[in-house]
Amino acid sequence: VGRAGVHCLTLETGFPLGSVNVYLVEGDPLTLVDCGPRGIVTRRSLESGLGAIGRSLDEVELLLLTHQHVDHHGMAHDLIDEFGIEVACLDSLAWYLERWPETCAADMTHRAARIRRHGMPAAFVTAFEAQLDRRIGEAAAIDVGRRLREGDIVDLGQTQLRVLHRPGHSPSDTVFWADDGAFAFVGDHLLLRISANPLMALGIPWESRFRPLLEYRRSLAKTKETALGMCFTGHGPTVVDHVELVSKRVAEQDERSGLIEAAFQREPGRTAWDVAHEVFGAKAHQVPILCLSEVVAHIERLEEENRLVRSGSEVVRFAPA
Ligand SMILES: [Zn+2]
């Protein structure tokens, strides 16, 4: 990429999610933004990417993390262990990563309870719960040297990055914005080719209730008002016009909310899973958690706007307000 000494390294993962972008920022300290998932394929890909620009892992001094999803931070423990790299991230993300695997397990348990309550068939819930050990192994607890807050500046010598908390895709989404307005690292907050899912998750720290779509829309409104410049994303191409992209994403969300509201108007008293099935078809069986998360996120918005009401306790059902 080259701008202001920023290099984009697109890492292979060997997983269905495809590739993930991490960034090396030339400066003092030499800084990596995200590090990719844990695994030999990604590790080799990171090493060769750095090698291609004349750098190596033992030169990296600081690791900035954009959010709590393992495809962005899973390798962190191994890098810290081997190279003594310092980690800086949002304080809530630090709280989450320092308590791994309890946080991972709590998040999974929370999701399992909610997908069951939203009508997902027992076989899917059981399959989800069976992933726990594998999920835990995708990362390990790390010590975070620098805990960041909204508005903080990360000084990288020639570049100063401002910390912006933009929850939605996950509770800990963080944008690192160069203070000359030329560019920003946006993680999965903005992606060019796909809309980032508002995923079901526990708010961190645990006491808060996280409603992803509502949070995401608040965050997108802020992002639209911020002159971010080039947006370096966690997956796929750089976003050049984030204002246009935010408008497009918000319009897509409005359309989907309308679709989900209409589904409950046609046939009231159904569960979120019933409607996920109707809206996503076969995809609801391939990626059930993603599809159900999205429907539930829209339902939370529709309830907030007094367009839907819920009934039931063990299994919840919805109808027009
Ligand atoms: Zn993510």
Query: Distance, CA 310 to ligand 1 centroid (Å)?
Result: 29
Distance CA 38, CA 14 (A): 11
Is the pLDDT reported for residue 134 higher than 80? yes
Distance CA 123, CA 288 (A): 11
Query: Distance, CA 265 to ligand 1 centroid (Å)?
Result: 32
Please tell me the predicted confidence (pLDDT) of residue 195.
85
Q: Which residue has the higher pLDDT, 195 or 263?
A: 263
Query: Distance, CA 268 to ligand 1 centroid (Å)?
Result: 33
Is the pLDDT reported for residue 192 higher than 50? yes
Q: Which residue has the higher pLDDT, 125 or 1?
A: 125
pTM for the model stands at: 0.95
Query: Which are the contacts of 281, defined by CB distance < 8 A and separation ≥ 6?
Result: none
Binned at pLDDT 50, 70 and 90, residue 207 comes out as low
Query: Distance, CA 5 to ligand 1 centroid (Å)?
Result: 25
Average pLDDT over residues 182-193: 96
Is the pLDDT reported for residue 318 higher than 50? yes
Is the pLDDT reported for residue 196 higher than 90? no
Query: Distance, CA 108 to ligand 1 centroid (Å)?
Result: 16
Distance CA 257, CA 214 (A): 12
Query: Distance, CA 312 to ligand 1 centroid (Å)?
Result: 32
Please tell me the predicted confidence (pLDDT) of residue 1.
46
Tens-digit pLDDT profile for residues 36-48: 999 999 999 999 9
112-148 burial, b at 16+ Cβ within 10 Å, e below that, comes to bebbbbbbbeeebbeebeeeeeeebebbbebebeebb
Query: Distance, CA 71 to ligand 1 centroid (Å)?
Result: 7
Query: Distance, CA 14 to ligand 1 centroid (Å)?
Result: 17
Query: Distance, CA 69 to ligand 1 centroid (Å)?
Result: 5
Max CA-CA distance within the chain?
A: 61
Is the pLDDT reported for residue 55 higher than 90? yes
Query: Distance, CA 195 to ligand 1 centroid (Å)?
Result: 11
Q: Which two tokens stand for residue 85?
A: 């790299």
Query: Distance, CA 189 to ligand 1 centroid (Å)?
Result: 8
Tens-digit pLDDT profile for residues 141-178: 999 999 999 999 999 998 999 999 999 999 999 999 99
Query: Distance, CA 222 to ligand 1 centroid (Å)?
Result: 19
Query: Distance, CA 313 to ligand 1 centroid (Å)?
Result: 30
Q: State what percent of residues in the chain have pLDDT above 70.
A: 98
Tens-digit pLDDT profile for residues 6-24: 999 999 998 777 899 999 9
Q: Which two tokens stand for residue 69?
A: 């999803």
Query: Distance, CA 173 to ligand 1 centroid (Å)?
Result: 8
Please tell me the predicted confidence (pLDDT) of residue 4.
64
In one-letter notation, the amino acid at residue 255 is E
